[in-house]
Amino acid sequence: MPAEYPKDAVFIDLWQEKMFLGQEFLTWLWLASEIDSRFPGPNDLDVEVRFEKKIVLETGEGVALHQIACSSPDRDWSEAFLAVSLDKKIVKAYLTIFAMSFECLLALPADTLNPQVLKLIKGEEFGAGGTLSRTGRFLGQVNLALAVNGIIDRLFSQFLKIRLSADWEAKELPRLKAFIEPKVANI
């Protein structure tokens, strides 16, 4: 049985107060994917997650709040590793999800975790040669978006399972920090 959303909570207040959840999820997903890009996906099939193009990080509060974008066409990410090691939070990232039957590139903002600029790339062509009707193409794209959202929800669920357990501070955070440490040691 899922947990109940607190009835007396004002959504906007709780959303702001727990904004770090989405930021920590993206940070966890990025670092975990750099260690091992495969995650358990729906129907016991693994999915691969690869951060691409750009990671946007935020630091400070109020008037001191500012964002930095770390681009890395060759996925070197030195700047981003350094930023995270200085406790900057990931607020938006671009990633590719590779699943059994499709792959897609998307931007994921930490505040909503709703996919943006989701490019639906399918192994087989979506009626590009006129083989599928407009309705067929539309339904195919919706089904792909559903699959992508299902994967994101599942990854977030895996994160929450670790994040809300004693293992987060005892094992997972030290594991992630140990992975970053040598990458920033010589910067």
Partner 1 sequence: MSFLKGTVTLTRYRLLEIPAEATDEFFSERLKLNSFVDIENVPEESSLGWVEILNPLATSFEPPSFRFGGFWGFQIRLDRRRLSAKILNRYCLIEEAKILAETGQALKAKAKKHLREDLRGQLLPKVLLDTDLFEVLWFKKENEIWIAGAGEKKRLIFEELFDRTFGLRIRLIAPISLAFELIPKELGSALLKSQPSSFMIGEDG
Residue 118 CB contacts under 8 Å (≥ 6 apart), including other chains: 104, 105, 106, 145, 148
CA proximity to 81, closest of 178, 186, 185, 183: 183
Sequence-distant (≥ 6) Cβ neighbours of residue 129 within 8 angstroms: none
Q: Which x/- pattern, by CB under 8 A, does the window 115-154 give for partner 1?
A: xxxxxx-----x-------xx-xxx-xx--xx--x---x-
**Binding-site member from 65, 74, 123, 157 for partner 1 (CB under 8 A):** 157
Q: Which of 37, 85, 96, 102 touches partner 1 by CB under 8 A?
A: 85
Burial, 154: exposed, middle or buried (Cβ in 10 Å; 0-12, 13-18, 19+)?
middle
Asked if 41 touches partner 1 (CB under 8 A), the answer is: no
- Judged by beta carbon, residue 24 or residue 48, the one nearer partner 1 is 24
- 5 or 36: CB nearest partner 1: 5
Q: Is 123 helix (H, G, I), strand (E, B) or coil?
A: coil
Task: Identify the H or E element spanning 173.
Answer: helix 173-184
**List of residues contacting partner 1 (CB under 8 A):** 1-6, 11, 14-15, 17-22, 24-25, 27, 84-87, 110-120, 126, 134-135, 137-139, 141-142, 145-146, 149, 153, 156-157, 160-161, 163-164, 168-169, 173, 176-177, 180-181, 184
